[in-house]
Amino acid sequence: MKKNSKIVNAGRQSKWTQGIVNPPVYRASTVVFDTVAEMKHASANKAKQVPFYGRRGTPTTFAFADAMNELEGGVGCYVYPCGTAAITSAILAFVKSGDHLLMVDTAYEPTRDFCQKTLAKFGVEVTFYDPMIGKAIGKLIQTNTKVIFLESPGSLTMEVQDVPGICAVAHAQPQDITVILDNTWASPINFQPFAHGVDVSVQAATKYIVGHSDVMLGTATANKKAWPILRENSYLLGQCASPDDIYLAMRGIRTLGVRLKQHQQSSLQIAKWLAERPEVKTVLHPALSSCPGHEFFERDFEGGNGLFSFVLNKSNDKALTALLDGMHHFKMGFSWGGFESLILGITGLKNMRSATEWPHQGALIRLHIGLEDVEDLIADLEQGFKRLNAHL
12 is known as an active-site residue: no
Which member of 146, 207, 231, 259 is catalytic?
A: 207
176 is known as an active-site residue: no
Q: For the chain, what is the radius of gyration of the CA atoms?
A: 22
Contact 210, 217 (CB under 8 A): yes
55 is known as an active-site residue: yes
Contact 343, 377 (CB under 8 A): no
| Residue 325: burial class (beta carbons within 10 Å; 0-12, 13-18, 19+) | exposed
Which member of 26, 78, 80, 108 is catalytic?
A: 108
| Residue 46: burial class (beta carbons within 10 Å; 0-12, 13-18, 19+) | middle
Which member of 3, 55, 225, 272 is catalytic?
A: 55
- Exposure of 22 in the CB half-sphere (CA atoms within 13 A): 13
182 is known as an active-site residue: yes
CA distance 353 to 368: 23
**Nearest-10 crossing angle of helices 227-236, 83-92:** 110
Which member of 66, 182, 245, 300 is catalytic?
A: 182
Instruction: Give the Cβ contact number of residue 47 at 10 Å.
Output: 14
Residues with a catalytic annotation lie at 55, 108, 182, 207
